[in-house]
Amino acid sequence: MQTSYLRPTYLEIDQQAIYDNVHHERERLPQSSQLFAVVKADAYGHGLVPVARVCRAAGASGFCVATLDEALVLREAQIVEPILVLGVTSVTTAAIAASQHISLTVADRDWLAAAAQTLAGKNNLPPLALHLAADTGMGRIGFTEPAELQKAAAFVLDHPETFVFEGVFTHFATADQTDLTHFQQQQAKFKQMLAVLPEKPRYIHCANSATSLWHAELAMNMIRFGIALYGLNPSGTVIPAPYPLKPALALYSELVFVKEIHAGDTVGYGATYTAPATEWLGTIPIGYADGWLRRMSGMAVLIEGQRCPIVGRVCMDQIMVKMPAKFPVGSKVTLIGRDGADEITIQEVATYAQTIHYEIACGLDNRLPRHYLPFDPD
């Protein structure tokens, strides 16, 4: 979708907040552990390349992405640090990854055999770095049995001209919950799987943001720092973070139209709102095409520090809000962020929409320009 730079609706990204979140976590880690910043999904909607550069300045020594395309964007931006693609990548693109020194995830031995054939005889390529995924209870991708993981590792080690056994990892499904039963079961299984490896790779990692925050003893020699680097608590509101996280994202717009409506007047598609009395109505240029979904109808925005509820249905490109007074056209509107003494957090938005803040952030479309506040690395 075309970015709408000439519309007064935009995201503001506080790069200092990102820097501080990463730097703080880096300071908590043992010297032997590295922090890989998870910047998949356009850095959770915050902007892939700008966020990667801030994270690098703050002490990140590598990056995790979801797709090979994301990794290639980082390489094109002169990001030279290690990059791991966390998802399963087509064997047909293995040579591309090798040529760009991008590490890939392996989830089964069939992929390994096919990749070995694909890369055979390509002497101009460096060996492809691989991380073996162990499915210890997430149920998504990876080897589920120690014997299978052992065979895969042996296969990689037996083909040093083609592969580098760079890492092994698992992903916890419940690290952000208070009940540790499943978490501890996964932890025990990962230890079992590590024990059968014929050789330990460079990176052994199991800590996502939640694990790194609340189970720091499992940092091993690498963590994958994701949602927390954006200043958002992985558990939502379930478990307090061990230190203050600084939210990096704010969403602003302005009033483009103001009018008075009267008792009986209806607003929006389906005429779902009927004014009970004379009211001031404001129109704001944002809608579900921008990621401000229809279920946000009824959610408040801030204008001059006052909460103004969305009335009627959210449209594709516009919303209407009920105002306590006649605010002038051009007045700043805060959808996420602080205005005066009040603040609307992305967690509040997610709670209203009955979802998680991950989805809200990732769903904000690229039609919304990203404005980046500077950061000071000192």
322 annotated active-site: no
Catalytic residue among 191, 200, 259, 269: 269
Does the annotation mark 191 as catalytic? no
Is residue 220 a known part of a binding site? no
- Which one is catalytic: 19, 40, 230, 273? 40
Q: Cα separation of 186 and 21, whole Å? A: 27
Task: Decide: 30 and 24 in contact? Cβ < 8 Å.
Answer: no
User: Annotation-wise, does 140 bind a ligand?
Assistant: yes
Binding site as annotated, residues: 140, 316
Binding site as annotated, residues for substrate: 140, 316
Residues identified as active-site? 40, 269
